Amino acid sequence: MRWCLRIEYDGYGYVGWQRQKNGSSIQQSIEDAIHKFCGERVSVFGAGRTDAGVHALRQAAHFDLNRDTKAEIVRDALNAHLRSQSISIISAHVVSCKFNARFSATERSYVYKILNRRPPPALDAGRVWHLQKWLDVDSMNKAAQVLVGEHDFTTFRAAMCQAKSPVRTLTALSVARVEDLVTVSARAPSFLHHQIRNFVGTLRLVGEGKWTEIDVKNALLSRDRSKGGETAPPRGLFLVDVVYPTEVSGVA
């Protein structure tokens, strides 16, 4: 039976989603919890391989289990074994054997949070990028529209990105402010490695008045990572949701 999990986590202190030798990963933690629960050693495949320090509200992942058991039991047992960690299994569902958390996804959505004020964060420490200089959110949002659509996003792609093509279709990118909190929201069928964090580092230049919309357009057209803004830190990034066609995912 193939299972799909929805997972919330605080990425602080983890090396990221993916299993690595140098520290604790979300993937490994869940695989260990499954092993403790039912004795089976499985591989858990995530929809998005979030970097170290990146958070998730509803990450999706699949794995195969021999044992026949109830969804609520899987969810509650995994949560019991994950009690000491900042990982929570929001739901567990049996899905079609054709379901693949990574390849079946039709849309991924992310939010990047910036705390835009002089004093440092206390309550949101580790979950925002703290930028002290006032950001012109209207200009950022206008410049963001330059990036929407199908483009070669080489400028916003990490050097270590493993995707075959740098072409992606960005469905939506918007920037909004509520008091001191500036949020950058992004939706696309898929993203390149560091794409959103590189967008945010670039839009910051617009918000601070150093760049215009035209500069963002020229950076995009240059297809040169060195022409884009810096990579924003991981701590402000949240994987919000992953969408699947109901024919493969059922209720997931």
Binding site for its own copies (CB under 8 A): 8-10, 55, 57, 72, 75-76, 79, 83, 86-91, 117-123, 125, 127
* Among 10, 32, 51, 152, the one annotated catalytic: 51
Least distance to its own copies, CB of residue 180, Å: 9
Question: Whole-number minimum distance, CB 168 to its own copies, in Å?
Answer: 27
**Whether 152 is catalytic:** no
Tokens, residue 169: 């279709």
For residues 10 and 31, which CB has a smaller minimum distance to its own copies in the complex? 10
SS3 state of residue 181: strand
Give 28 or 96: the residue with its C-beta nearer to its own copies: 28
Instruction: For residues 21 and 157, give the distance between their C-alpha atoms in angstroms, rounded to a whole number.
Output: 25
Minimal CA–CA distance to 190: which of 74, 108, 83? 108
Taking residue 220's Cβ as centre, other Cβ atoms within 10 Å add up to 19
Per-residue tokens: 89:
């299994």
The minimum distance between CB 39 and its own copies, in angstroms, equals 23
For residue 206, count other CB atoms closer than 10 A to its CB.
25
Nearer to its own copies, 51 or 202 (CB): 51
CA distance 47 to 240: 12
Output the smallest distance, CB 75 to its own copies, in A. Answer: 7
Quote the crossing angle between the two packed helices 213-222 and 137-144, to the nearest 10°: 40
Name the residue nearer to its own copies (CB basis): 21 or 118: 118
Judge whether 210 and 136 are in contact, CB under 8 Å: no
Residue 156 or 238 with smaller CB distance to its own copies: 238
Question: Shortest Cβ distance from residue 83 to its own copies (Å)?
Answer: 7
Q: Please give the structure tokens belonging to residue 176.
A: 């909004």
Under a CB-based contact definition with an 8 Å cutoff, are residues 169 and 190 in contact? Answer: no
**Catalytic annotation, residues:** 51
